[in-house]
Structure 1
Amino acid sequence: MTRTDRLAAILDLLADTGQIEVEDIVAKLGVSPATARRDLDSLAKQRLLSRTRGGATTGAVAYDLPSRYNRDDHAEAKNLIAEEASRLIQPGAVIGLSGGTTTTALAHVLSTREDLNTPSDRPTLTVVTNAINIAAQLAVRPNIKIMVTGGILNPRSYELVGPYTDIVMQKVALDFAFIGVNGIDAEVGPTITDEGEASVNTLMARRATESYVLADSSKVGRRAFATMAGYPFRRLITDSGISQKDKAAFEANGTEVIVAMGAAAV
């Protein structure tokens, strides 16, 4: 388990109960008490929890992690993809995050990066998103600037869609866009179950210098209702579950496939 994985796991455990002890972390994550204390101290410095003598509590930290949003059979793959995407992002970047479980995992990884939570006179990261859960997740990180698009809320996905969203998106310039999808096909490209979300995703991707679709391998070969028409799909980050046949098919159509393999534990 990487350090980022540990920090994310600690926050998930804390979200479940509102408090956690060092002994709980040792037992559930298989780390030493010293490592557990260092991780809690790091999260406390980032204002993600309040330290107590023997552990931590949510305390006055005003956030509610949408843990149910990323608890699924493919959570591990999504976390690996999120870590791979995070490595592309340097401090000071302006990024777009669409809604989705994998982009939510990326937001979670970014929220635990020490270099993005170091006190600074300028934003260490600027995030433009149409997903209110992602905005809420990052809102307590004082060095991360958050811009939320307007629009009508889709309560099933936490995403804002519609013409107001489009107006705002047309006024931003992004270094990177990370797009969550419901299906990805070598011929059709990325697809979304909701046509409004597909439209926002397309516009967000087109406003970025580089855009990446984030999709775990269970979505490869699947097609949802709405295509991302007008989006030049060129980069996919997925996990090692993708078959060589599917990978070759994407590459034959000009799409770079980045397979997230994870990193050694620290």
Structure 2
Amino acid sequence: MTDRLPVSVCMIVRNEADRLPRTLAALQDGGPVFEEIVVLDTGSTDETMAICRDAGCRVESAAWEGFAVMRKRSFALARCPWILWLDADEVMTDDLRREIRSQFADGEPSCAGFLINRMVQLEGRWVRHGDWFPDWNLRLFRSGDWSMDDRLVHESIRVTGEVRRLGGLLEHHSFRNWADLRERSDRYARLWAEQERGRGRRAWPGVPVARAAHRFVRGYLLRRGFLDGVTGLRVAWQIAREVRLKHTLLGEKRREGARPSDR
């Protein structure tokens, strides 16, 4: 068995029993690849925690307080000098696992972090074009040098220093079906509108339609989403729909905030 990499794989989960076995299995290569897998459970009622413990993960529990808060809490549990941010719906390919191992072949890398490219699979079809691919995200970084804003949705990491790109892909099995995609898009739109209103962002008439149209043209035509066939069309349409909804909700929330309170 080769030595484990000095990396803490950090995950936040809730009711992911159907997806976790594949995700956790991909972290193995004839044995554990990473020093530890830390799972922060936020209220699972299925077999999620049992699956994680059986796989040798260190499992902690906490009540849900928002994406960024929970993400930072999971990172704080890491005991290794490097953190790999992973979600339960993300599966590491063999190429990516080998690429990560190669970066530590001669000791710890000198850079501050690594970008990893994700590819979405939706109902058995890979989305290889449009706004969803390529999808580079900073996911492997030093545990003592990162920061994250307290955003309600679409949290992201910042580091100080050089950031490199890794070869290989991270499979993203994000949505169980089209209905799940729509439901999650609606939830993200509501969170985004709440977040931006709190930041003082203004809403303007016509913006929802204009931004949605721009996003559809960009994803479906300019970024060649049409090459993914019907799936590419549906993805571009759903993204445009979410853009329109979130800007519409922003306007509604601002109008609600401007109304005088009842006396």
TM-score, reference length from structure 1: 0.28
Give the structure with higher Rg (CA).
2
- TM norm structure 2: 0.28
